[in-house]
Structure 1
Amino acid sequence: MDDAIVSWLIAAGVLVIGAVLLILLRSHAERDILTSARSAATTGSTQVVPGAEPDAAATLTAIEAVGNAMIDAGYSVMTVRNALHDIARINGLPASEMVVFPTALLVSARGEEEQRTGVISSGERSMLLAQVDELQLAVDAARTGVLDPGSTTDRIRQIRDMKPQYGPMPRVFGYALLSIGLAVLLGSSWIGVATAAALGALVGAALLLSERLPARYGALITVAIAFGVSLTVFLLIRAGFGSGILAALIAALVLFLPGSLLTTAVLELSTGQIVSGAGRLAAGAMQLVLLAAGIVTAAALVGVPEFEFSEHSLTLGVIAPWIAVAVFGVGLALNQCALWRSLPWIVLVLYFAYSAQVIGDIFLGGVLSAFVGALVVTPVSAFVAKHPSGPAALVSFRPAFWLLVPGALGLVGVTDVLGGDASGLNTLVATVGTMVAVALGVLAGSVFSSRMERPAF
């Protein structure tokens, strides 16, 4: 039997089994938003008192804390603004206005006799998956009145102060695992898988060390790591290890790829958020340029004349990619410090994403397969979030971005262009198409998830 047919049958089987599993889990127990929100209330917290005199100052502080945290967590500006409006309304300030940008938040808390305005910078700190999970609970609690403004501010501060779930060694090991998984999915050889593991461990360690440096050094760190990884891969190619290790280059740089950022940018642009969308698009493009600069410099130094990243997903056998999806999920959960109870759900959503993409690729082609993947993953993530042990929708949804890989395609295109290869423009066009396809898939999937938990992307 042809390998493509076997892959299609496996993908169809995974989707059916996954759907049945979700239905059985839903019939067993389903999360209620208000009940889950109450679990976010800590000892000493208080609820909003209906009919009480609004406190614009306290509400403004809470809105600023929540908005800043949600931006740092990676929520879209539409989701942030909707949450902040709900918090203002439940606290008796329905006329309040918010302007949300990826790097700034402007809030006007308006009451009948009082008005407070605040402006803060945001987007300077990233959040780990466990923090995102707790943040979603806190947001649900604040927007439903389970937490009053003072308790909301305290809860956000506690989330900010959370220590990573795992130490440096497990997180480095996790990065090595996710590099291995992605290398297999990109069609690496066994030597390439080993290379991806070694480079992933080094990059993971470098990322942990770089967390102690000021943010202004971020661009230099990105270029330096891209240069080091590329130099190693190209030297191995020149040593005769073959082009099968090229996938290790992308795999080791996976968390640098701005696939999520670029797709969110297109999503915001398509919904009228021009300033935010354009800002994210520029930031994502710049990240690709920095990565490409490191790769091109390494190639020029070593003397590699040209290189192509071509996908051969069945290089290690038809079953290998399906094992790699689980390896990728476990590695990502370790590196990004997801709660252990979230791991099975993350892996389940990843299998939905990969299966949908495999089927979409067979029937619709590469670019539209990203649309199918996003279309399926969006309601599945919302479905998972309704289960008592399920993570926030964003926690299970975010890893799927790296499987849809719009950032990887963009990196190839920018690298080709900087290296003087005009064909790289074709890859860039394909990247734009992929980002648009993912964004449209998210929008279409949100229609199916609108009757579940609030979309949280």
Structure 2
Amino acid sequence: MADKQSEDGQNAPAQGPATPATANHSDPRQEEWGTADAVIRPSDPEAAYLRTISTPASAPDWAESSSAPASSRTRKTKPVSEATAPESAQQSAPHMDNSTQATTQHDQADKNAVSSSSNEIPQAIPPQTEVKKPRIPDVVVVGPQSILRNPLQSLKGMLFKEQTQSVPISHTQDKIDRILSMMRLLGIAMLKSSHATPDVRDTMLEIARAYNMPPVRVVTLPTLIAIQIEGTDRRAEIGALEGQAFRLDQSAQIDALVDRARRGVIEPDDALAQIERVMNSTSRFNPFVQLVGQILMTLAIGLLINPVWPAIPAYLILGLIVGVLTLIGRRFSTMSIAMPVICAAVVTIVASTFLVDLTHEVPIRLIAPALVPFLPGGTLALAAMELTRDEVISGSSRLIYGLSQLLLLAFGVVIGMAIVPDTTTTNEVVLNSIGPWTPLLGIALLALGYVFARSAPEGSYLWLVVALALTYGAQRLGMLIVPPEFSGFFGALVVVPLARFLSKFRTAPSATVTQLVSFWILVPGSIGFISFTEAATGSTQTITSFVTTGISLFAIALGIIVGSGLLGTRERSGG
């Protein structure tokens, strides 16, 4: 009986006279929309609007009219009585005659008959189901309202850098040659940024996996990198270092490129163009500002290794001399090799002739801070670290290079002392005669000197001060536990984890920049230079000085390795 009534209900509108409201719609039930308040029919004013926003029958349940306003959002429901319709729905249009109203009432009766049947559901009205709305991901919006709603997420969004989620590039199999060239230039750039050779090799292997490259073999040395595809395809790329080491801002830009390449989200041609721009970029500051930075670095190192009031004018004068000679040497490439010897000889002559009587200090204590640009502290630390990681060739070559730099500086000092006789040396422990705040002043000046002389990235000054202060504080705490020559282990222990943590903040520089600056606060180069110079001038404590320097270097290297290992374990565990 219900089926028969349903069929009659469908044919009923066709038998009556056609009206403007029903002439184009043979089945009124397919043009009805159920709202939260009533059933709206084709003749109602709201029908035209709902027809434009209604969801097709083939659309899934969860896609139901989510873009419409809440007041007009449709839902699938059984027809309700016309008594519950709003007042606007019960009023007939002015142009509708009595036959049209009769037809509409007849349609409503047929609709009620269909709804009473539990065995058949009209095709245009699917069974009533629970609407499944898609889950909207949490979006952190920085602002006053978001802080009130979710303060922790908003604070995290304001302080830390966003985790970039990018889509890897496609068709990497067609770009193998360009990817190899990109890997070669990135490897050279990392070596010029003073990365350890095992770190460069591991990074190249990560990049190869990110770009779905065939198995590759990577060989890295301090001045060379070779990348070859294994198997039948023997394509290879070999690159060698040329020119000077990168400035700090260049190292930061290379770190950003390496991070994108590790995730395989940068096109090889784009990476090659950006690497070329970084290599050809100039310093953010003019030569005069760089000279000021050199003077500040000399004063800072002097306050850290020989904090006495009379020596401060000597630090400023000698720093000015070395800074001017360094700028001149950059313009004449033939003088760059001999520049360490020239600078060491000149500052020794000036310190021994004019500054000894002014400061009443031993010349060797005044000379060491002035030769900061040539002290191979970072090179010696990397050499010891590579040797402890079984990188025999890289570690030994770096160690020999660092020792040769110290020998050149010591040779220049010997020449200066030969020109100015009666120059004395001493191995007495230097006491701080300025005050307990001297190390903090030295740290602040050292960070500022790095910004000016080495062109540290913009906005990195405060972060460099924090990194230097924490590293120096850890080393000083270590001196309360172990002898001073072993205290570098505790300072180096926090260098890598601290650099990685600070690099997560929005305005902080990259981890490489912070690590390079933190190496200097451990002053292994200054200790080695003083030891070599005292040995060259005939000090009776030669063997003791060499042993102390070696212990300090390897303690620093061991601290870096242990800190890196702890950080890697924590990252793998999800910390």
Whether TM exceeds 0.5 here: the answer is yes
Report the secondary structure of 1:126's partner residue.
Answer: coil
User: 1:327-348 deviations in whole A, cap 9, x for unaligned?
Assistant: 1111122110012311111111
Offset at 1:448? 3.1
Partner of 1:161: 280
**For 2:246, which of 101, 124, 127 is the aligned residue?**
127
Q: Sort the Cα spacing of 1:252 and 1:33 in 2 relative to 1 into closer, same or farther, 3 A.
A: farther
- Which residue of 14, 29, 36 maps to 2:159? 29
Q: CA RMSD in A?
A: 2.3
1:107 alignment partner, SS class: strand
Residue 198 (structure 2) pairs with residue 78 (structure 1): yes
Is the Cα–Cα contact under 8 Å of residues 200 and 220 in structure 2 kept in the other structure? yes
In the alignment, which residue of structure 2 is the partner of 1:284? Answer: 402
1:370-419 CA distance string (max 9 Å, x none): 11111122211111111122211110111222221111111122112222
Q: Tell me the SS of whatever aligns to 1:132.
A: helix
Letter in 1 for 2:258: V
**1:266: Cα distance to partner?**
0.7
Listed one character per residue, the Cα deviations across residues 268-315 of structure 1 (whole Å, up to 9, x for unaligned) are: 011011111111001000000000001111112211343025453521
Pair member with larger Rg: 2
Distance 1:198 1:429 in 2: 32
What does residue 217 of structure 2 align with? 97
Quick check: 48-57 or 358-367, which moved more?
A: 48-57
Question: Out of 175, 178, 192, which is 1:58 matched to?
Answer: 178
| 1:327 counterpart = 2:327 | no
Q: Which residue of 2 aligns with 1:19?
A: none
One-letter code aligned to 2:210: I
- What is the number of equivalent residue pairs in this alignment? 419
Question: 1:373 matched to which residue of 2?
Answer: 491
TM-score w.r.t. length of structure 2: 0.69
Pair 1:201-2:325 in alignment: no
Counterpart of 2:543, as a letter, is L
* 2:561 maps to amino acid: L
- Higher relative contact order structure (alpha carbons within 8 Å, sequence separation ≥ 6): 1
Q: Distance in 2 between matches of 1:415 and 1:279?
A: 22
Distance in 2, matches of 1:205 and 1:418, equals 27
Is contact 1:184–1:313 with CA below 8 Å preserved after alignment? no
Residue 182 of structure 1 aligns to which amino acid in structure 2? I
Deviates more, 1:444-453 or 1:403-412: 444-453
Q: Is the 8 A contact 1:63 1:84 kept in 2?
A: yes
Matches within 5 A, 1:259-274: 259-274=377-392
Write the mapping of 1:9-24 to structure 2, written as runs, cut at 5 A: none
Match for residue 469 of structure 2? 351
TM-score by length of 1: 0.86
Instruction: Report the equivalent of 1:317.
Output: 435
5+ unaligned residues in a row in structure 1: which ranges? 1-23, 39-46
Partner of 1:299: 417
* Maintained 8 Å contact 1:96/1:109: yes
Identity of aligned residues (%): 26
* Kept after mapping to 1: 8 A contact 2:321/2:347: no
In the TM superposition, residue 239 of structure 1 has moved relative to its aligned partner by 3.2
Structure 1 residues 287 and 26 mapped into 2: Cα distance closer, same or farther (>3 Å)? farther
Say which SS state the counterpart of residue 425 (structure 1) adopts.
helix
Structure 1, residues 77-97: CA drift from partner, whole Å, max 9, x if none? Answer: 011111111222222214011
Residues 13-71 of structure 1: CA deviation (Å, up to 9, x unaligned):
xxxxxxxxxxx997853335546xx7xxxxxxxx7434542422111110111011111
**Aligned partner of 1:174 among 293, 299, 312:** 293
Q: Cα 1:237–1:334, aligned 2, differ >3 Å: closer, same or farther?
A: closer
SS, match of residue 224 in structure 1: helix
Alignment of 1:116-265 (within 5 A): 116-122=235-241, 124-214=243-333, 217-236=335-354, 238-239=356-357, 241-243=359-361, 246-265=364-383
Cα distance, 1:244–1:357 mapped onto 2, change above 3 Å: farther
Aligned partner of residue 295 in structure 1, secondary structure: helix
Q: Any unmatched runs of 5+ in structure 2?
A: 1-153
Residues 56 and 114 in structure 1, CA contact (< 8 A), matched pair in contact too: no
